[in-house]
Structure 1
Amino acid sequence: MSEQLPDVQASRPDVTVGLNRVGVTGVEKLVKLDREDRRPIVLMAEFEVYVDLPSWRKGIDMSRNMEVVDEILEEALGRRQVRVEDLCGDVAERLLEKHDYTSRAEVQMEAEYVVREDTPESGRPTQFSADILASATADPDGTHEEIGAHVVGMTVCPCSQGMSESRARDVLRDLDVEQGVVEEFLDRVPQPGHSQRGHATLKLRTDGSPEVDLVDVIEVARDSMSARIYNMAKRPDEDHMTYHSHANAKFVEDCVRSMAEGVVERFTELDDDVVVTMEQSNDESIHQHNAHAERVAELGMLREELNGGNGDSIGRTNGHAG
């Protein structure tokens, strides 16, 4: 009988420094989410799985991370109405059970989610894809789950549009158009501004109750920009997107604030301590740089600010995002 192999991971390291996150990344798994009276959602998901490591231990049991992911996913296939954030939470909690030397486990999942929809004017069937962002952290105090989405849209710069409007006003006056007609025309026909592709990310971190509808998250993120975009578009649809985006010009900062407003209006049933992460990045069309804005805050603080409360507390609310 061969001698038992030594457990090298459990030995003491040469440098006794603890680590916050040790684990595996790029774990690809097929995830099936059953829904009541509807076709199941099948996702090709990529997972990242981590635990913390104390200073006195050389390494984690890496194979256990993979074993837990496989176990939970197989169990999920036998259940109905599974939410991806619950899936991450189950894996995180099981990791704590499997690794008795850890105090914190973290699981992240990303997958592409396809939404069926119709084009805005021609009514043609098409599809829109969003990136699902789900995660969970588990520690002795409990489990926190996060669900979110990253979507793409269109924005128009109000600054350049304002300059175009000023130019149009001057030309119309030179053509002796009456002032009232000039203002009515400019009010009804939005002037050009440089447009860009926008990237909106919205995430909500909760304790798992009440449930957050992923579709609602996607809708709020898409509506935060100047206009939605569509994979397939006929001429009337292109005209619709161009007109509505220029009629709703927004800076990158405006998009984040619109996202905050949408979260407060849509998620009225959520508790004040839900942590909301909102990010907007624009691929600038006339600059070599891009624009970015973000906000992390508890939902209660956003409600207070939008109801006329003090908005000068960003540093305090950001402290809850860890």
Structure 2
Amino acid sequence: MSQQLPDVQASSPEVTVGLNRVGVTGVEKLVKIGRGDQRPIVLMAEFEVYVDLPSWRKGADMSRNMEVIDETLEAAVSQEVEGVEDVCGEAAERLLEKHDYTTQAEVRMEAEYVTREETPESGRPTQSTADIVASATADEDGTREEIGARVTGMTVCPCSQGMSAARARDVLRGLDVEDETIDAFLEEVPQPGHSQRGHATLTIEAEGAPDVDLDDVIEVARDAMSARIYNLAKRPDEDHMTYQSHKNAKFVEDCVRSMAEGVVSRFDDLPDDAVVTMKQSNDESIHQHNAHAERVAEMGTLRREVND
């Protein structure tokens, strides 16, 4: 007769302190996103799975967590889903059902997403990458799902560009060029400023699931910076990116504000209580530090501020 193994996780801990998040990370699974008549997009996604833990319980059932996430994600592999956030939502709800001691379950996911596009001047086919971020939190009040992306672009500092423009103006005046001509020249030929590699993150969270298209989220985030960048760039494309970024110089704060403007313009159908998270981090080229700005706000608040 086999001996029943003790359930150590269900025993009481020596220190009766509850924990907000206990779970597993680094779970890799394939997920297929359906696209109607087109071939589905297949992602290698990495998941994090958490539940909360009451003070009277020593540990969470890690094997049960893995069983639930495996069941859910294997089902997702066998059939196409409309959005990766739905996979997270289904897994979070299953976790809540399987753990009678848990009041909240959370599932987070990241994956690299590749889109096809053309270079801006040479028209060459190329690919662009973005990091998809998705999550879901389930509790007794329901399930909230989040979808978003982290993209890379280029920014130019308006402050250093202003100093370059002032220097150019002084030089041109010294050459007896009229102010009207100088103004016209500086308008057509933006002056140099120090540039940065920019990282924009945009996520949208709503009850159930946000009614947004992932490609639109990526577009809003990419357009919020001074210029887009491309994996492939011939000389005309490099000239285009350089010119566009200097023509559209932005502080890190401006990028977040541009994201807010893009969200309000592109996602008019979102409910007022949808939560929008916008982050911009710039890798400085002339400083040892980096610049960062962010905003978290409900959609209704953003609408009022942008349209004010």
The two structures have a TM-score, normalised by structure 1, of 0.94
Which residue number in structure 2 is paired with residue 186 of structure 1?
Answer: 186
Which residue number in structure 1 is paired with residue 204 of structure 2?
Answer: 204
Which residue number in structure 2 is paired with residue 49 of structure 1?
Answer: 49
Distance in 1, Cα, partners of 2:60 & 2:287? 46
Distance in 2, Cα, partners of 1:210 & 1:193? 38
Q: How far apart are residue 211 of structure 1 and its match?
A: 2.1
After TM superposition, the structure 1 stretch with the greater mean CA deviation from structure 2, 129-138 or 34-43, is 34-43
User: How many pairs are equivalent?
Assistant: 308
Which residue number in structure 2 is paired with residue 319 of structure 1?
Answer: none
Amino acid at match of 1:204: I
Amino acid at match of 2:44: M
Give matches, 1:212-231, under 5 Å.
Answer: 212-231=212-231
Distance in 2, Cα, partners of 1:238 & 1:275? 37
Give matches, 1:53-92, under 5 Å.
Answer: 53-92=53-92
Q: How far apart are residue 282 of structure 1 and its match?
A: 0.3
Secondary structure of the structure 2 residue equivalent to 1:77? helix
The two structures have a TM-score, normalised by structure 2, of 0.98
2:38 is the alignment partner of 1:38: yes
After TM superposition, the structure 1 stretch with the greater mean CA deviation from structure 2, 34-43 or 249-258, is 34-43
Where in structure 1 are there 5+ consecutive unaligned residues? 309-322
What fraction of aligned residue pairs are identical, expressed as a percent? 78
Q: Are the aligned partners of 1:153 and 1:225 in contact in 2 as well (CA < 8 Å)?
A: yes
Amino acid at match of 1:297: A
Q: Are the aligned partners of 1:261 and 1:306 in contact in 2 as well (CA < 8 Å)?
A: yes
Amino acid at match of 1:272: D
Give matches, 1:99-248, under 5 Å.
Answer: 99-209=99-209, 211-248=211-248
Distance in 2, Cα, partners of 1:235 & 1:283? 24
Distance in 1, Cα, partners of 2:190 & 2:210? 42
Q: Are the aligned partners of 1:18 and 1:53 in contact in 2 as well (CA < 8 Å)?
A: yes
Where in structure 2 are there 5+ consecutive unaligned residues? none
Secondary structure of the structure 2 residue equivalent to 1:96? helix
Q: Are the aligned partners of 1:156 and 1:195 in contact in 2 as well (CA < 8 Å)?
A: yes
Q: How far apart are residue 118 of structure 1 and its match?
A: 0.3
Q: How far apart are residue 209 of structure 1 and its match?
A: 4.7
Secondary structure of the structure 1 residue equivalent to 2:75? helix
- Kindly provide the CA deviation profile for residues 28-51 of structure 1, in whole angstroms up to 9, marking residues without a partner as x: 112122221011111111100000
Q: How far apart are residue 210 of structure 1 and its match?
A: 5.4
After TM superposition, the structure 1 stretch with the greater mean CA deviation from structure 2, 151-160 or 172-181, is 172-181
Q: Are the aligned partners of 1:274 and 1:298 in contact in 2 as well (CA < 8 Å)?
A: yes
